[in-house]
Structure 1
């Protein structure tokens, strides 16, 4: 089991300490993407608060996660059906 590490991050101009099991390189990539998306939302609608932008990002991230989980399930189902047909052919 991987140990949690404290990771300091600047997100939207504010410093956070995050407990993470992932590598610093992974966390750097995540934080960079978060800041890029916050900046994009600010450009699209400068009147949005940081909190509103964060909520919109969370909704988008969870929507993407649900779509990907559904796709994984569909692929696993297809592979399961495929492996069953391979057993029958043998």
Structure 2
């Protein structure tokens, strides 16, 4: 399973749509509740969560063997989120 972060955003939505077309198992992760709408594109699982919270990141990563990290836009602590996600793998 591939975890895709910021999946409900403009870039994320396009990425998960393409991955789903290729038949890949995707878990879409985003703080935006609209991430649930991605099931219509063929996403296997969706999860609303905050990349700043260790418990959310651990839950998102559980069962995933790959991560496609799309950075969230316009937030001051994006680097810390990326480092936290990488350290939890």
User: TM-score range, shorter-chain basis?
Assistant: under 0.3
Normalising by the residue count of structure 2, what TM-score does the alignment of the two structures yield? Answer: 0.24
Structure having the larger proportion of residues in helix: 1
Normalising by the residue count of structure 1, what TM-score does the alignment of the two structures yield? Answer: 0.24
